Amino acid sequence: MPRPPRYRGRFAPSPTGPLHFGSLVAALASCLDARSHGGEWQVRIEDVDRTREVPGAADAQLATLEALGFAWDGNVVRQSARPERYDAALQALARAGRTYVCACSRRQIAAAGRPGADGWIYPGTCRERGLEDGPHRAVRLRTDDAPVVFVDRVYGDIRCDVERELGDFVVRRADGQHAYQLAVVVDDADQGVTHVVRGADLLLSTPRQILLQRLLGLPSPAYAHVPVALGPDGRKLSKQDAAHPIEHARPLAALLAAWDFLGQRWESGAPGTVTAFWEEAVRGWRLERVTPRPPPPLAEQS
Ligand code: GLU
């Protein structure tokens, strides 16, 4: 049997627009952390949410990564090619009695729920109703009060009571699509990802993902969340924010800006070429220099 790698990282952009500075920061941190550990680094296109996908965006993102000198291992994984894997996980959760069908609209949840750390906490309306699955019905995970505890490599000790702080969350949406939380957990496990390095806007997704890993009997990778670049309004830069796409014509400038943003330093002056950047950055990367900052208002995930 081939031995599993000691370190396999990944970058997982959603194809909702061109790669902007915020996603470059996550790409660079995940790639440098992997390479500086002698590890592998893969790219996964998170196109599970077909409603948010912008045609051509995935290819444009990959072209930008290449123009900046990123080199990934293996083939690019696309979530749109993997619905059977997500269905299998849903079935396993259902067999274990950990999911239920939910017919509530957003408005009903807002009226009966309470605000939580990441959006409305589901009030439990359908938890014991035993509804049949059908059109316009979502599937939710039945959370519990066993705390999820993990040590983030940047943010330190994190403890979350998923049931109380986040509530029962959607694993299959009412439009039939698999939810981000479920797809990520299945993908990270199938790809053999050992280390996740990503933006701190996903810090509260991690307890939900660790809970799903537990329930599905999957290993949990190590997690490091890095601060996210914010726009002038204090919110996370979004890929729809066309004001900040990466300029292919100035790859070194973009890489150096992301390096500085991550609190990294050069021992003897900034490198003058993209090739020199990668050589020196892999040698000089220190995750401990990344300073945690309060996470931004959370991105809406379904
Ligand atoms: N697809 C997510 C995004 O573009 C990242 C998910 C992850 O790294 O787990 O924000």
**Contact indicator for 126, 103 with CB cutoff of 8 Å:** yes
Give the residue ranges of the chain where pLDDT is below 50: 242-243, 299-302
Residues 265-286: tens digit of each pLDDT: 999 899 999 999 999 999 999 9
* Residues involved in catalysis: 239
Percent of all residues in the chain with a pLDDT value above 90, rounded to a whole number = 83
Residue type, 276: A
pTM for this prediction: 0.93
CA of 13 to the centre of ligand 1 (A): 5
Whether 198 lines ligand 1, by a CB cut-off of 6 Å, is yes
Q: Which two tokens stand for residue 203?
A: 């810090």
- Chain centre distance of CA 39: 19
CA dihedral angle for residue 171, residue 162, residue 195, residue 153, rounded to 10 degrees: 150
Whether 187 lines ligand 1, by a CB cut-off of 6 Å, is no
Length of the chain: 302
Whether 225 lines ligand 1, by a CB cut-off of 6 Å, is no
Residues 17-67: tens digit of each pLDDT: 999 998 999 999 999 999 999 999 999 999 999 889 999 999 999 999 999
Which domains, ranges and CATH numbers included, belong to the chain?
8-82+192-201+221-289 (3.40.50.620)
